[in-house]
Structures are given as C-alpha cells and as structure tokens.
C-alpha cells in the first residue's frame, strides 16, 4: 500500500530535518560507500526530499559531474533548492514528479550513471513501474538504495510504538497499528527487493543488511528526543488525530522508555536495521 507524503507530513519532516539527517548518518555513510560515486558522474537521487544526499552527491562528483534530485513534494524541493551545494559541487537540477508516472526519456532528461536513494523508494503506489522508469533514466547505470529492514528488527521504531500502544490501551483507545512490513517498511527483505527490481529490468541485485545505533532526534535531551519519537513512522500513524492530552502522555511514556537507552553524553540511541541494495541496469 502506498504511504502518502501529504503537506502535513512534509512540513513535519522539514521542521525536524537537521535532527533526522544526523540521526540517519550511519545510513548515509553505508549508502555512499555502496554507491562509490566518481568524479564527473551523473547522479539521480530518487525521493530526494530536502536534498541532503543530493548535495552530498554533488560534492562527491564535483564540478565535472551533474546531479538530479527527484521528488513528488514541491515543498521538499523548494527547501532543497534554497541550500547551495557548495563551491566545488556539481550543478543540481530539481525535478518535481511522481516516480511512478515519470517519463525521463520523453521529458528529455540526459541519462544518469548512478541512481541513489536514502529512504525515498518505499512509498511508490506501483514499485515495479517506478523502478522501470528509474531504470530508463540510467539505461547503462547502477543503483544503490537504502530501505528499512522489517520493522520488528529496529528498536528505534518498536520502543516508542510499544509506549504509545500501552498508553492507548490503558485509556481504552482502540487503534490498529500499521503492518510491520508496509509503508516505510515495504521493501524490507532481500527477496522483496530482488523481486521488484528484477521485474523492473534491473540485474545483479545484491542486498546487504546493516545495523547501527541511531541517535534519536540527532542528539538532543531526552524530552526533545521523545517528541521526535512521537513522529517516528508507526508511532506517528497511531497518534495522529488523537487528543493533545493523550499525545502528551505518550511523549512522557516514550521519555520513560528512552531512559534505558541513554548514551554517555545524555542522548538517546536505539538500534536501527536497514538494507543497502545495489543493482545494475
Ligand atoms: C523518508 S523521505 C526521504 C527524503 C530524503 N531522501 C532524505 O533522506 O532526507 C521520503 C521522500 O520520498 C518522496 N516520495 C514519496 N513517494 C514518492 C514518489 N512516488 N515519487 C517521488 N518521490 C516520492 C517524499 O516526498 C519524501 O520526500
């Protein structure tokens, strides 16, 4: 099932983007190691959001290369375009499109050498169609993408969700938590990635699992981390639209749960399991 990126969700992401970016540093490092970008290459960043990995790619390939950031949320792209990538970086073109409907050949986009994505490819309404279009934009290229492993493998999602469900159960609020392999977790196994990418025409699909401690909110005090935890994936889904007093109680419950996950410098760190998948066109 597709997971909507409506304006409310986009604005919430933008409001927390600096913390999210620090939180996802281990994912970024693994993704760029797998992508192995070379000077002068043409890179496509799919579901680029506000562009942190797009700008990194632009610096990695340098002035002789070029980079395209593709996203369906116009507000994300406006935020992305407002930040220059740096003096030695490749130029960046921002394209506002749904990857499922995008026609790179018909719209005259020059072929790319490398496709990258940090969590921008799990929300497609038709994944095979989207990855087919993406492949058409890099007909002789390679791909490196980061997706979440099955949600049950990541305490960073399970711990705040359990705290929220506990509060709601105590209050007698009935909720239906999202399935652990849907939405942001829709490409959560090597088999699923191989099936989708192969059907879309990609070959040599290889998925490597990584685990890392993710610093929630990017390194903040426990209460700020708990508010960030409220907005994490499934916890956001079950608490959206609930009364403010219930949401406040959930934040307190998340803070309590986080107390046993403090680092020496007082930040909250929980395990996240993610997949880095590479493929050839
Ligand atoms: C989890 S965010 C990741 C953003 C960015 N890659 C990052 O790491 O900060 C997912 C992004 O995918 C975009 N997205 C979702 N579905 C899409 C689609 N069908 N086509 C293009 N972009 C999409 C969303 O608008 C959002 O910006």
How do strand 142-148 and strand 269-280 relate by DSSP bridges?
antiparallel
Say what percent of the chain tops pLDDT 70: 99
Could you report the per-residue pLDDT of 128-177, keeping only the tens digit for each? 999 999 999 999 999 999 999 999 999 999 999 999 999 999 999 999 88
Mutate to test the pocket of ligand 1, among 120, 214, 232 (most ligand atoms within 8 A of CB): 120
* pLDDT for position 4: 82
Could you report the per-residue pLDDT of 33-62, keeping only the tens digit for each? 999 999 999 999 999 999 999 999 999 999
Indicate which residue's Cα is closest to atom 6 of ligand 1: 48
Q: Rounded mean pLDDT of 256-261?
A: 97
Distance 78 CA to ligand 1 centre (A): 14
The residue assigned the tokens 């990695």 is: 60
Q: Quick one: tokens of 269?
A: 């760190």
User: Counting atoms of ligand 1 from 1, which one is nearest the CA of 17?
Assistant: 9
Could you report the per-residue pLDDT of 104-122, keeping only the tens digit for each? 999 999 999 999 999 999 9
Grouping H, G, I as helix, E, B as strand and the rest as coil, residue 130 is helix
CB atoms within 10 A of CB 237: 18
User: Counting atoms of ligand 1 from 1, which one is nearest the CA of 13?
Assistant: 2
Distance 99 CA to ligand 1 centre (A): 10
CB 222 within 8 A of CB 270: no
CB atoms within 10 A of CB 71: 26
Q: Buried b vs exposed e over 129-155: b needs ≥16 C-beta within 10 Å?
A: bbbbbbbbbbeebbbbbbbbbebebbb
Distance 71 CA to ligand 1 centre (A): 6
Q: 7-280 has which fold?
A: Rossmann fold (3.40.50)
Query: How many helices, marked H, and strands, marked E, lie in the chain?
Result: 11, 7
* pLDDT for position 1: 40
* pLDDT for position 8: 87
For residues 215 and 261, give the distance between their C-alpha atoms in angstroms, rounded to a whole number. Answer: 10
> Is residue 30 predicted with pLDDT exceeding 60?
yes
Residue 267 pLDDT class (50, 70, 90 cuts): very high
Residue 218 pLDDT class (50, 70, 90 cuts): very high
> Is residue 232 predicted with pLDDT exceeding 50?
yes
Indicate which residue's Cα is closest to atom 13 of ligand 1: 47
- For residue 15, the Cα-to-chain-centroid distance in whole angstroms is 15
User: Counting atoms of ligand 1 from 1, which one is nearest the CA of 2?
Assistant: 16
Distance 50 CA to ligand 1 centre (A): 9
* pLDDT for position 137: 97
For residues 279 and 281, give the distance between their C-alpha atoms in angstroms, rounded to a whole number. Answer: 7
Residues with CB under 6 A from ligand 1: 5, 47-49, 52-53, 70-73, 76, 98-100, 118-120, 123-124
> Is residue 203 predicted with pLDDT exceeding 60?
yes
As to burial, measured by CB atoms within 10 angstroms (0-12 exposed, 13-18 middle, 19+ buried), residue 99 is buried
């Amino acid at each position: 099932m597709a997971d909507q990126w409506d304006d409310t969700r986009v604005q919430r992401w933008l409001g927390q983007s600096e913390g999210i970016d620090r939180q996802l540093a281990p994912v970024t490092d693994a993704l760029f190691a797998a992508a192995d970008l070379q000077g002068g290459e043409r890179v496509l960043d799919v579901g680029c959001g506000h562009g942190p990995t797009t700008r990194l790619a632009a610096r990695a390939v340098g002035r002789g290369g070029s980079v395209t950031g593709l996203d369906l949320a116009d507000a994300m792209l406006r935020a992305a375009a407002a930040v220059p990538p740096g003096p030695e970086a490749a130029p960046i073109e921002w394209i506002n499109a749904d990857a499922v409907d995008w026609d790179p050949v018909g719209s005259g986009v020059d072929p790319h050498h490398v496709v990258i994505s940090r969590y921008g490819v799990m929300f497609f309404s038709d994944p095979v169609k989207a990855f087919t279009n993406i492949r058409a934009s890099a007909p002789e290229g390679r791909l490196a993408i980061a997706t979440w492993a099955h949600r049950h493998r990541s305490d960073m999602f399970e711990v705040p969700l359990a705290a929220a469900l506990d509060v709601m159960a105590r209050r007698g609020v009935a909720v239906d938590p999202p399935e652990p392999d849907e939405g942001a977790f829709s490409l959560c196994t090597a088999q699923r990635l191989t099936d989708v990418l192969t059907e879309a025409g990609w070959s040599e699909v290889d998925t490597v699992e990584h685990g890392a401690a993710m610093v929630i909110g990017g390194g903040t005090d426990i209460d700020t981390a708990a508010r960030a935890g409220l907005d994490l994936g499934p916890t956001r889904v079950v608490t959206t639209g609930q009364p403010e007093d219930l949401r406040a109680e959930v934040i307190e419950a998340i803070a309590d749960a986080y107390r046993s996950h403090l680092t020496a410098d007082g930040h909250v760190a929980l395990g996240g399991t993610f997949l880095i998948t590479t493929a050839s066109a």
